[in-house]
Amino acid sequence: MQEYTLQEAEASGGMLRPFVQYDPRNVTGAHRRFAAAIARGAVGLKVHPASHQLPANDRALYPLYAVAAEHQIPVMVHVGSSVFPGAKMRYCDPMLVDEAAVDFPEVDFLLAHSGRGFWTDQVFFLTRMRRNIWMELSGIPPRRLPETFPELDRVADRLVWGSDWPSSPPIRRLTDEIQQLPFKAETIERLLWRNAAELFGLTELLAAHTQKEPTT
């Protein structure tokens, strides 16, 4: 169980928007704990199959997904490589998320690291095929994105980016590199902030940028 993010978010005065994480095999009533965490401000669920050795389609997770569906908040699933001690990557196959995405079509599943390693093609295909599957691109050096995902513009409406800090370079450096990538300007904007703002209901941010946009 990881709910420390709630305390960090509360201490931030609303600057942080926390995800929480549970291993339902070890937490009694995990789905009820999740619902209570949402009431305290949690905006998503994190599933880390490599560390918990619990695949995303395991039925033990389904009550948590049902809570996410009820509250219309996303689920982020680690599907990239992992160097954590004891991590077993066979649990990170993105096809395991596909089953959950079909069973919970009202839940947006964010595929963390977009299959970094040898699953990137599968993640891109699933994102094109399933309207509730998103690519999350943290942990992939921006300079490698055009080679890894040359058709990224085709899924611009379902991209989100995270820094993966502190294991990555400084955030400013990463965002500067992303803005230089050879993708459409709309894709870059959606990747860096707009999709996340829409997904998490950051209405103030959206309104501020709308006011700055020139009218025609």
Give residue 216's pLDDT.
47
List the chain domain ranges.
4-212
Tell me if 61 sits within 8 A of 54, measured CB to CB: yes
pLDDT tens-place values along the chain, 216 residues long: 688 999 999 999 888 999 999 999 999 999 999 999 999 999 999 999 998 999 999 999 999 999 999 999 999 999 988 877 888 889 999 999 999 999 999 999 999 999 998 999 999 999 999 999 999 999 999 999 999 999 999 999 999 999 987 888 999 999 999 999 999 999 999 999 999 999 998 877 677 766 666 554
From first CA to last CA, the distance across the chain in angstroms is: 50
Residue 96, CA distances (Å) to 25, 92, 103, 209 in order: 18, 8, 12, 37
Cα gap 82→9, rounded to integer Å: 26
Q: Beta strands 44-47 and 19-21: pairing type? A: parallel
Give residue 166's pLDDT.
80
Q: Which helix (H) or strand (E) holds 109?
A: strand 109-112
Cα gap 59→120, rounded to integer Å: 25
Q: Which amino acid is at 68?
A: A
* Prior bond of 166 cis (ω within 30°): yes
Q: Which amino acid is at 109?
A: F
Give residue 127's pLDDT.
98
- Which superfamily, per CATH, for 4-212? Metal-dependent hydrolases (3.20.20.140)
C-beta atoms surrounding 184 within 10 Å: 12
Q: Which helix (H) or strand (E) holds 146?
A: helix 145-148
Cα gap 43→40, rounded to integer Å: 9
Give residue 179's pLDDT.
97
> What does pTM read for this prediction?
0.93
Q: Which of 94, 104, 163 is nearest to 131 (CA)?
A: 104
